[in-house]
Amino acid sequence: MQSSSRPSDRQTAIFVSVAVGIIVAVVTTATFYWVYDLALGQERAAATVVSQAPWSSSDGIKVITSSAPNVPTDGRQPWLGTDAWVQGVQAGQTWVQNNPNPVNVQVLTGMDSAQIWAYMQQYVAGALGVSCQYCHDINNFSLDTYAQKTTARNMMYLATDLNANFILQLPNWRGNYVQCATCHNSKPNNLEGFAPQFVKSVPPIHVTVDPLDSNGEAITDPALKPAAIQGQVKLQDAILYYIYNYQVWKPYDAADPESGRGSLALTYKGGRSQDQVTINQNVMNNNSWSLGVGCNYCHNSRNFTAYETQPANNVTNQLYAYNKLKAQQMLLMTSWIQANWTTYGAIAKPAIPTALEGGASSFSYQQLNGQYYNVPGCYTCHQGYNNADGISVPRAAMNQSSFVDKGDAGQVIFPQALRGGQ
């Protein structure tokens, strides 16, 4: 005590503790990056090289016509195989002749029956890889007999709301909208929300989650934590907790270098626990695998806290400016999706399907209101896909520049109602 009152010792003590703090922070981040690169970076790079071409509606229609006919047991007509496809489309044509104006549309208002028929083929049936019979009684397209049709209508509201509330609000929006295919990628259900490589990489350990409160203070008292994370939880569940409960406690302000902080901020007020570093690392790995990119797509690897919104300061590529901010918006979007998922009417499952039943990984299912649901994650839309410019826009997003005549199947129709008001 006495000696610490002597200025030189105190200064030394402060100097040493600050230096140790800085070294720990630098070593942690560097190790984190190095381990990531060693463990996942190379496999991820290989995965990027083989990434697919952008989705086209004919891909989805091929899925239908090249499948063997299915045998439904719930009263619906078969929806797979060439015969099912031809019968559905022809029944639609007859319906359009008899009903030039739609009878029972609640979302696609302002379109005539012929436009709806064309949209349904390419961007609804094609998007899900199922023929009309999946949702319709093809003797009368206006009936709402099947739960799948009601769900599809709710999902039209979902696409509209995602575009309005999140996509159109992105800084530096590139003109892409969420449509059915953006999530469905020619599959009706059991969508995979997490890259297979990521799912394999998560170790089966348990961690303590200390979430940040609305001031960015760590909550360590179990009694004050949300019920789901009071005790030790599986690392997998801790990762999901952050992807689906993400908050921003200090919104980004270009004038304030301390801003833009949210639930995943690590380096502030003395740092976070080792478990939090592990959780953060895995959420970041998920960002990378989902988008098929390295850490520096979003970060300046010399300053992980910064938002590289000034292209001139960006060490990697001018095109990448704003990406961390966009990713933050996307984390808010996945959190909003989960919070509102039951109201958008996905069909609940009695249990998590096993892989043999065509299920996705267990990461892709959540228990909500006591039932199991398949919930989207970053990978559902992004699929590890980069376009020709190395930009991670989902392969099946709808770009405003493609709302033009595309020949054979008629116009590319993207209903005004789904565009979120723009």
- Which residue is associated with the tokens 């984390």? 331
In the bound complex, what is the minimum distance in angstroms from residue 148's beta carbon to ligand HEC?
A: 4
Q: Indicate the residue among 169 and 220 with the shorter CB distance to ligand HEC.
A: 169
In the bound complex, what is the minimum distance in angstroms from residue 57's beta carbon to ligand HEC?
A: 11
Q: Indicate the residue among 121 and 236 with the shorter CB distance to ligand HEC.
A: 121
Q: Indicate the residue among 78 and 88 with the shorter CB distance to ligand HEC.
A: 88
In the bound complex, what is the minimum distance in angstroms from residue 271's beta carbon to ligand HEC?
A: 9
Q: Rounded distance, CA 293 to CA 302, Å?
A: 17
| Residues 64, 67, 69, 72, CA torsion sign | negative
Q: Rounded distance, CA 354 to CA 1, Å?
A: 63
- Phi and psi at 23, nearest 5°, equal -60, -45
In the bound complex, what is the minimum distance in angstroms from residue 134's beta carbon to ligand HEC?
A: 5
- Phi/psi region, residue 369 (left: phi>0; alpha: psi -120 to 50; beta: rest), is left
Q: Indicate the residue among 8 and 269 with the shorter CB distance to ligand HEC.
A: 269
Closest by CA position to 303, among listed 90, 26, 78: 26
Q: Indicate the residue among 5 and 101 with the shorter CB distance to ligand HEC.
A: 101
In the bound complex, what is the minimum distance in angstroms from residue 294's beta carbon to ligand HEC?
A: 6
- Which residue is associated with the tokens 């994370």? 229
Q: Rounded distance, CA 335 to CA 346, Å?
A: 16
In the bound complex, what is the minimum distance in angstroms from residue 354's beta carbon to ligand HEC?
A: 13
CB-based contacts of 23: which residues, under 8 Å, 6+ apart? none
Around 183, how many Cα atoms within 13 Å sit in the side-chain half-sphere? 24
Q: Indicate the residue among 189 and 230 with the shorter CB distance to ligand HEC.
A: 189
Tokens of 82: 């060439």
